[in-house]
Every structure is written in C-alpha cells, then in structure tokens.
Structure 1
Amino acid sequence: MEVINTQVAIIGSGPSGLLLGQLLAKQGISNVIIERSSAVHVLSRIRAGILEQGFVDLIREAGCNARMDAEGHTHDGFQISVNGKGTRIDLKALTNGKVVTCYGQTEITRDLMDARQAACLPTYYNAPVSEITDANSAAPSVYFEQDGRQYEVNCDFIAGCDGFHGISRPTIPNHIRKEYERVYPFGWLGLLSDTPPVDDELIYCKHPRGFALASQRSATRSRYYLQVPLTDKVEEWSDERFWDELKKRLPEDASQRLQTGPSIEKSIAPLRSFVCEPMQYGRLFLVGDAAHIVPPTGAKGLNLAASDVATLYQVLTRVYKHDDMGCIEQYSEICLRRVWHGERFSWWMTNMLHDFGELNVDNTDGAIFNKLMGSELDYFLNTPAGKVTIAEQYVGLPYESLKD
C-alpha cells in the first residue's frame, strides 16, 4: 500500500473541493484531492450558474477569475411572473448595490481544474474512497484505490466535499448525526440549448400549468426548466414538446422572443430540502451537498457550498498560521446558521412559485395552502419591504467571521 502524507485530504473534486484546495495551496497548506469519478464525468455535470458576490470574491482570491470576469454576466435583477404578469426584483437598488453573476458551474469547475493542474497539485481521479478512519482523533486517514493500487492518506484534517451519496457523511456515527429532509412531489425538467437567452435576466414563472424558469449560461447558451410530475420520463419529452410547453408558461412578451433549437442535454431532477447536523466530527468537516441540499428555486445550492468553503478556509488558515486548534469547533455552528437561512429561503420560494394542486403539503390542505402562497406572493411582490426581503436573500447573506 502506498502512503501519502499531507495536511488536508479533500474528498471530491467538484467546485467546492477544488476551490478549497486552491485557497489552501495559496496559504502554503498542502492538500490532496481524491475523486471517485473521472475528470470528464465531473465536467459533464450540468448544474447551477448564479453566483453570489461572496463566491465571486473567493474565486478571485484563489486566482481563478480570468474567464469568469471576461465571460460572466452581471445580473442587477430578475423577474417573477405570476400568471403572465411580471414583477422585476431590482437587486442592485434594493440591496445598496449588490448583484449576482451568471457563470456556469461547469466553467467554474474547469477553471479550478486547470489552475490545480498548472500548479502541479496532487489530484487522484477514478479513485473511490473505501474508508475514513480515526476522524475523531489527531491523526485521521483516508483509504482509496486507483488503477488497482491501494493508497493510505495520512493527514491532519479531512474535507468531505463528496456530495449526498459520498462516504464522508455516513462516517459520522448514527448516534451523533441527525438528518432533516423534505422531498417535494415534483421535479424539474431541464433543457440546455445553444440559443440566446430569452431575456438578459432570469424569469421565474408561476403558472396554472406549473412552474417554469428561464435561465442562462452565457450570451449564446440557455438553460430552461419546467415543473413536471416525478412519474415523467425524459424520453417522453421531445424538444418540440418542451418548447411548446415553455411558451405556454412564459409571459407573452418573453414567449414571443423565445428562440428554440436542439437540446444539448435534458434531464429531470427531483427536489429536496436536506440538512445534516453537525457538519463536523472531530477532524472531518462536511462541505456542500455532503451536508445540505436545497431545491434550486432560490439559487442557493452552489452558493451555500461556497460559504462552507469560506468558513473552513478561515478555520484551517488560523490553525496553521496561528496554531489555534480551538477555532475548529466553530465550523459547524457558523455554517449551519447560514445553511438554515438558505434552506428556508429555497423552501419558501419553492412553495410560493410551484403548483401543488390539491396535494397535502406540510400537513396542510392543498387548497388552503395554495391560497396562502398566493397571498405571500401578493404581499412580497407588491410592497417595498417584501421586495427588499427577497432581494437581500437572493444576493446572499454576509459570510460570518470566526470569533477571536
């Protein structure tokens, strides 16, 4: 068995693992990334692309911002359409200048991969982790296999950036770990196409036929979503059927502008709200989807992972630069405060904008639930205070610093 010694072992090479690795390397903190899939597979994941300013700042601090700054599109606002009537949420005006940036997660991942490779930082792909040992000690280890060879990574800390199905979260003993989950009774059918976006900003649509979202990845690439039953299959949705249904749910002016074309990718994603507490066990830290998942309605999934990275980066920098081991106990508490805010906002946006029909929701009769959500939308879209509330949460709450 080959032995690898490093300060931080990072499991998972998605954007959170790669970003953490790059930031730590900038501070001279050695790290190894272990990824169960191939690099090609990691880059094939079609995910979100709306970045809060905190995430943008982290990418810049990591020195991986050249393409993002050149190709990313700043959004000053977005639109919420209710039965064809649109209301613009002016993010910049309502939050004293804060905005979000549109730049695809795939492109972020590619930029971080390229930077890691250029810096010759060790990364193991096609390397499933079989075991994490002694996480609650001063000398944890990670075991993995690559090309038939066995490896043991001896480290000071482990960052579990390996997603919902990874090995990191189950490593926390059952009697310590508590999980909260809500599964939604519908999914999002997403279509990616090389067509110009229907609008410069995102359009969230509440419609009697179901929710829709007009999003984008660049000036020439669009991403659209439709609320569909969980029983639907991708094969049942031809491109023509998708475009026809999207036109019915978009506001009329947007529907008339919509440019259609062949899909590059189509998939149906289930929606869930999920949180694991705590996010830390000894020297093992959970980051991103390993600890929490949100429905995508509020654009918080990738951004919550980034805020986890920001907190863990603070913790590990203080440990190695100031020999402050006590600060590691702050990680879970700080992260979970922001996580629950993001979970609540995503749950709230999902409840307000989707059609639940007559389904029983949160032990509430479906009919009265839909009426209550209609009242929510009326208040928040038609009062100054309501619009500020949406805008402040959409651009992202401030990152929290460690206590001295």
Structure 2
Amino acid sequence: MRTTVGIIGAGPAGLLLARLLHRAGIDSVVLESRDRAYVEHRQRAGILEQGTVDVLREAGAGRRMEREGLRHDGIELRFGRRRHRVDLPGLTGGRSVTVYAQTEVCKDLIALQLEEGGPLLFGAEALAVEGAEGDRPRIPFRHQGREDVLECDYVVGCDGFWGVARKAFPAAVSRVFERSYPYAWLGVLADVAPSHDELVYARHDRGFALLSMRPPVARRRPCGEAAPLSVESFVSRLYLQVPADARAEEWSDDAVWAELETRSATDDGWTLERGPITQKSVTPMRSFVHEPMRHGRLFLAGDAAHIVPPTGAKGLNLAVGDAVTFVRALVHQRETGSPGLLDAYSTTCLRRVWQAERFSYDMTTLLHRAPDATDFDARLQLARLERIATSRAAETDLAEAYTGFSLD
C-alpha cells in the first residue's frame, strides 16, 4: 500500500489532518488500532478555542457543531464565596469558545473521511515506523489478521502517548520535559441541567471544582423507537480535585454532590442542581512535551508530542494547531518547492505548545490546593485571583490564552 502521508491514529489530530489533506488534494491513509465504536465513544472533554472552531468550519466539518455546540462568551471564577465573570469577547476583540465534546468532533470527521476522504482503516495496528531518515518511510501494520506495509512520503504520528511513532525517534535526538501533579480529577456525568450557563472554575481550601456541561441532546421518549424525540436532555459534566491515587468507586453520589456544593458555594443565593450521576472516572494530571516534534520525514502531532493538564482546556486545540501547521507546510512545499516550513514544523508548533503548557500550568496551580500547601500558598492564590478580578491587563491575559493562541 502506498500514499503521500501515512497517519497513525484516528484521534482529533489524525482525523483533522486527513480532512485538511483531502481538501488540499493530498492523499493519505489513516491507521487506527481501535475499532470505530471505541473511537466514537471515547469520552473526552471539549472546549474548542476560536481558532479550532474556525478551522472546523473551513474544513467543512462544522455543520453539527454549529447546530449543537454551545458558544460561551465568558467563564466564571469563584473564590472566597465570590463570583467573577471573565468577558471573553470584550477582552479579546470578539473571540469566544464553544462547548462541543471531542467525541463529537471525531464522529463528524470520521463520517466525512469515510464518505469523501482516503482510506481510514480501523483495527489496523501500526507496529513501527521505519526509514524516517530516508525519503520513503514505511509503517508495518497488522490489519484483519494480516501484516502489511504502508509506504509513504511522510509519516505523522497522531497515536498518543503510548504509540509507536515517538518510539521511532532516536534517543540521541529526543528530549522530554514533564511534570506530574500530586492530585487528579474525579469527573462525573450527571443527567441534570447545568447550574450555571457558563463554565465555573472554583478555587476552595478543600480543592478545585469545575462545573461544566455537554450540549443538550435529543433522546427518544420511552414509548418506543418510533416516538418523537424529546426537546431537550441536559447533561452536566462536573469535576473535583481528588488525591492522585483516588479511585472513582470510593466516591458515593452523595459525597460528590456534597463536595461540589461546598467548593462552589457563594454568598449570593446561588444553588447547585443535583441529578442522577451516570458516569464516574479519575483523570491523572500531568504535563509532557517531547522535543523535537520532527525527525526526518516523521512528524508528531497531538498527545504523541505533548500533554497538558485539563485545567486550561488545551489538549484538543493543540492537536488542531499541529495538523494545521503540517498541512500548511506541505502545501507550501508543493506550491513553491521550498521545504522551509516543513523544516520549521517542530519550532513552529513548539512555540504554541509551550505557551499552552505555561497557561495550563498557571491555571492548575492557581486553582488547585497541593497536599503540602501552606497558608502562605493559599494567600498567594487568592491574591492572584484578586488581581485577575481587578486588573483589566491581568484579566485580558487570561482571556487571550483561554480563547486560544494564534494558529498563524
């Protein structure tokens, strides 16, 4: 099998990359080790930066997002039982974010790829990347019980932290920068309307809490498959800071609601809506960057190259930036004959990556309480939050980072 760009992994980075290449008239093949059902139901959060929304629209993948996604023009910070709203468009010249789960982004891109794009092979396990230093890299892979080889001009590894692509980088050229945090997130899905119409980031002495949501979904009424769809079915997505070794089953529903209520409480009569919890999971917190993001004709994108703690909502958006950067560089080479942008791929991506790492770290340390935190540390957090609430310059810095760093 032969193609121009071999893509390992059908997460958001790989799927968007394939879509953008197709729109540019460049052929590709996507190898995904999991089956389609797994990819389409892999639960991930989804706060889309303004730039990500624009890219999906331009790629022809924004129709359902426009219909079902929730545009948010602000976020709310809570501390000391007070509330402060950050007006995103007012501070950034009109930029906002959209709540639309990564799961749904992947569904949209998969449907487009299967209908219009090149081969997307599910259950195709990439075994290695060979010959990245030459002009014909190869990806040996196993599909439907048979072994085959995908020959490419370029390979882009979008196969996550545990994938084979990054392992193909020689140890002599690889540098890893990472930090593990001494806490995790307990995330729950609840069948209840959100208690606030925008995301709430709450700092409390007992730990961080986040009140988020999923877009309303249509569900069939219980009287049968042929019944009309209900108008709305609300889902709240809620998070609590927990110890790094916590297990989801240790938390009863009542304990989750009680802790969320305590950490997000205010003095103005606001109340937290409760409902049936349908899912619980624990997410570890870490920062990770692999440099460089290119070796020969092998490029890394998405979680294969970098991971951010979820506080800054940057993971999916960084993957989009990587995909856009690669396609622009390849198109530039085709049109001008110059490999300059491809040669600069790693440097270009890493500028944005490190800004996102910085912002995610800042948000994480601003809002979470470390196990060894002192009263001095707590006072510093409150002082930083007070600064954001009272200084337009500080608030603008947060809003600009939250709505996204430029893809240009």
Length-normalised TM-score, structure 1: 0.93
Moved over 6 A (4+): none
Q: Distance in 1 between matches of 2:237 and 2:268?
A: 14
Aligned residue pairs: how many? 391
Q: What SS does structure 2 have at the residue aligned with 1:128? A: strand
Task: Give the equivalent residue in structure 1 for 2:328.
Answer: 314
Q: Give the structure 2 partner of residue 363 of structure 1.
A: none
1:281 positional shift: 0.5
Q: State the secondary structure of the residue aligned to 1:139.
A: coil
Map 1:45-124 → 2, pairs under 5 A: 45-119=42-116, 121-124=118-121
| Matched ranges for 1:74-223 at <5 A | 74-119=71-116, 121-219=118-216, 220-223=234-237
Letter of the aligned partner of 1:197 in structure 2?
P
Output one character per residue of 1:360-387: Cα deviation in whole Å (capped at 9) or x when no partner: xxxxxx5544333332222222211111
Distance 2:212 2:69 in 1: 14
Equivalent residue, structure 1, for 2:264: 250
Call closer, same or farther: CA 1:210–1:254 in 2, change over 3 Å: farther
- What SS does structure 2 have at the residue aligned with 1:183? strand
Displacement of 1:327 in angstroms is: 2.4
1:58 CA drift (Å):
1.2
Q: Per the alignment, do residues 255 and 312 of structure 1 end up closer, same or farther by CA in structure 2, a change over 3 Å counting?
A: farther
Alignment match, 2:38:
41
- For the pair 1:285 / 2:282, whether they are aligned, the reply is no
Could you tell me which amino acid in structure 1 is paired with residue 302 of structure 2? G
5+ residue gaps, structure 2:
217-233
Give the counterpart of 1:377 among 357, 362, 385.
Answer: 385
Cα distance between partner residues in 1 of 2:268 and 2:207: 17
Single out whichever of 305-314 and 230-239 deviates more from structure 2.
230-239
Q: For the residues of structure 1 that align with 2:268 and 2:53, how far apart are their CA atoms?
A: 29
Greater shift in the superposed pair: 252-261 or 28-37 = 252-261
Structure 1 partner of 2:357:
343
2:274 equivalent among 260, 264, 278? 260
CA contact (8 A) 1:144 1:152 kept: yes
User: What secondary structure sits across from 1:79 in the alignment?
Assistant: strand
**Shift of residue 261, structure 1, vs aligned partner:** 2.4
Cα distance per residue 1:267-303 (max 9 Å; x no partner): 1001001111101011111101111111111111111
Confirm or deny: 8 A CA contact 2:70 2:100 kept in the other structure: yes
Q: Secondary structure of 1:21's partner?
A: helix
Contact kept, 8 Å, 2:22 with 2:117, in 1: the verdict is no
What is the CA distance between 1:162 and its match in structure 2? 0.6
Aligned with 1:229 (options 219, 243, 246): 243
CA distance in structure 2 between the partners assigned to 1:266 and 1:109 by the alignment: 22
For the residues of structure 1 that align with 2:309 and 2:280, how far apart are their CA atoms? 18
Instruction: Please say if 1:18 is aligned against 2:15.
Output: yes
Identity over aligned residues, as a percent?
Answer: 44
Matched residues in 2 for 1:199 and 1:265: separation?
Answer: 20
Contact 1:50 1:104 (C-alpha < 8 Å) held by counterparts: yes
Are the counterparts in 1 of residues 6 and 155 from structure 2 also a CA contact under 8 Å? yes
The whole-number CA distance in structure 2 between the counterparts of 1:356 and 1:371 is 13
- Asked if the contact 1:211/1:249 (under 8 Å) is kept, the reply is yes
Q: 1:84 offset after TM fit, Å?
A: 1.8
* Whole-angstrom CA distance in 2 between matches of 1:136 and 1:239: 53
In structure 1, how many angstroms separate the alpha carbons of the residues matched to 2:267 and 2:155?
Answer: 51
Confirm or deny that 1:273 pairs with 2:287.
yes
Could you list the per-position Cα deviations for residues 298-351 of structure 1 after superposition, in whole angstroms to 9, with x for gaps in the alignment? 111111111111111101212233332232111000100010000000001100
Distance 1:282 1:225, change over 3 A: same
Question: What is the CA RMSD across the aligned residues, in angstroms?
Answer: 1.5
For 1:72 and 1:61, the matched residues in 2 are separated by 16
Q: 1:367 to 1:66 in 2, by over 3 A?
A: same
What is the deviation of 1:394?
0.6
**Pair 1:389 & 2:397 matched:** yes
Cα 1:225–1:197 shift into 2, 3 Å:
same
Following TM superposition, by how much is the alpha carbon of 1:52 offset from its aligned partner in structure 2, in angstroms?
0.8
Residue aligning to 2:220? none
Secondary structure of residue in 2 paired with 1:131: coil
Name the residue aligned to 2:338. Answer: 324
- Alignment-derived partner of residue 368 in structure 2: 354
* Alpha-carbon offset, residue 204 of structure 1: 0.1
How far apart are 1:60 and its partner, in Å?
1.2
TM-score (norm 2): 0.92
- 1:304 counterpart residue number: 318
Query: Structure 1 261/253 Cα, relative in aligned 2: closer, same or farther at 3 Å?
Result: farther
